[in-house]
Amino acid sequence: MDWGGTTAYTWLAFDGTDWSVLPARVEVIIDPDPVDIGTIIKSGQEDQYLKFDESDLRNFTLNSTSFIKAVSLPSHGTMLFDTQKTTPDHAFEGTPLYEGQEIHIDILLAGELAFLPDLNFNGFTSMLWRASKNDIWSDDERVKMTILPANDEPSVQDFETFVFEDTLVTFASSDFTRAFTDIDGNLMQSIRITGIQSPDSGTITANGLAITWNQEISLINIPELNYMPSKDQTETQIIYWQAFDGHLWSQNTASWAIHITPVNDPPSVSALTFETIEDQSLTEMLAGFDLENDGLTFYLNSSAE
């Protein structure tokens, strides 16, 4: 079965009395069936293995003598081959095919062949292959692969703002959209504040009401948000946030650093009451307080009545 080549046999003839003196030779040439392969068409998902199996070869006339050859390799990814099939005890460990590599059909079917697209690639790619049978090779055929797009999570980046002490900070949509990236081209739809480094050092409100962590805030409502640092707070405050592209939330959490520049606070003085005897001088210690611990100089604002 499936054999091709040359064979022969000899024969004698009998005339009813004698057999022929010399045998005759019959040579039989069996032309092998042509190696019949065709185009293989596959589709898969972005960032996932596209696996091949024996069903991809089912319609082709191959036999136990057959080899499969990678004539060329696809762009935008890597063809990988593992001599073992994936099982619960064996994860796929494919090694890259090289151009011109030949794999016997038995080894191919005992293992696993897969195409791994480049990260975030989607679109069309292809490669050329051929097969042999009884030491005769087919013409080149093509493996056509379509990688379907999948929505990727957006990413967000850190940014910073500089303000003066005791200043109300109003959120700006543009600060967040500039720090937003989506490889699929989706636009930022909303954000959520996931926390603040020092919750007791300030308050985030929306229209005067304190927000809750992870509350979704649409892009158009971001300007309604304000952050008010605690009075006299001068330490940098970190607000943590994520963004939504209409399909997925960002894969990471970014920070908004609010750097607070100190400003000089006016000192305060204490009201004091002194008593003395008429026509005698009075010496007393005046009391005052300065938040920045600057030295205080006291001036007479009005004369005693």
Residue (of 224, 230, 198, 180) closest to 215 by Cα position? 224
**Alpha helices for 126-279 (secondary structure H):** 173-178
From first CA to last CA, the distance across the chain in angstroms is: 130
Tell me how many helices (H) and strands (E) the chain has: 2, 25
**Alpha helices for the chain (secondary structure H):** 105-110, 173-178
- Dist. CA 229–CA 15, nearest whole Å: 123
Q: Is 216 helix (H, G, I), strand (E, B) or coil?
A: strand
Can you give the pLDDT of all 305 residues of the chain as single tens digits?
A: 566 678 888 988 888 888 888 888 989 887 666 687 899 999 999 999 999 999 999 888 899 999 999 999 999 999 999 999 999 999 999 999 999 999 999 999 999 999 999 999 999 999 999 999 988 899 999 999 999 999 999 999 999 999 999 999 999 999 999 999 999 999 999 999 999 998 888 999 999 999 999 999 999 999 999 999 998 888 999 999 999 999 999 999 999 999 999 887 666 666 666 666 666 665 656 566 655 666 656 566 665 55
Q: Does domain 155-261 sit in CATH 2.60.40? A: yes
Strand order in the sheet with 159-164: 159-164, 254-261, 237-244, 190-196, 216-218
pLDDT score at 200: 87
- Dist. CA 155–CA 181, nearest whole Å: 5
Q: Is 110 helix (H, G, I), strand (E, B) or coil?
A: helix
- Dist. CA 236–CA 229, nearest whole Å: 10
163: Cα separation from own chain's centroid:
35
Residue reference for tokens 């959120």 = 171
- Dist. CA 116–CA 96, nearest whole Å: 10
Cα 163-165-166 angle, rounded to 5 deg: 110
Answer yes or no: pTM beyond 0.85. no
pLDDT score at 28: 85
At the topology level of CATH, where does 40-148 sit? Immunoglobulin-like (2.60.40)
Instruction: Name the burial class of residue 224, with classes exposed (0-12), middle (13-18) and buried (19+) by CB atoms within 10 angstroms of its CB.
Output: middle
What b/e readout covers 110-134, taking b as 16+ CB neighbours within 10 angstroms? ebbbbbbbeeeebeebbbbbbbbbe
- Contacts of residue 256, Cβ cutoff 8 Å, sequence gap at least 6: 158, 159, 160, 161, 175, 238, 239, 240, 241
pLDDT score at 228: 94
pLDDT score at 201: 87
**Domain residue spans of the chain:** 40-148, 155-261
- Say how many residues make up the chain: 305
Task: Supply φ then ψ for residue 203, to 5 degrees.
Answer: -135, 135
pLDDT score at 16: 87
What phi-psi label fits residue 17: left (phi over 0), alpha (psi between -120 and 50 degrees) or beta? Answer: alpha
| Residue 117, strand partner residues | 77
50: Cα separation from own chain's centroid:
18
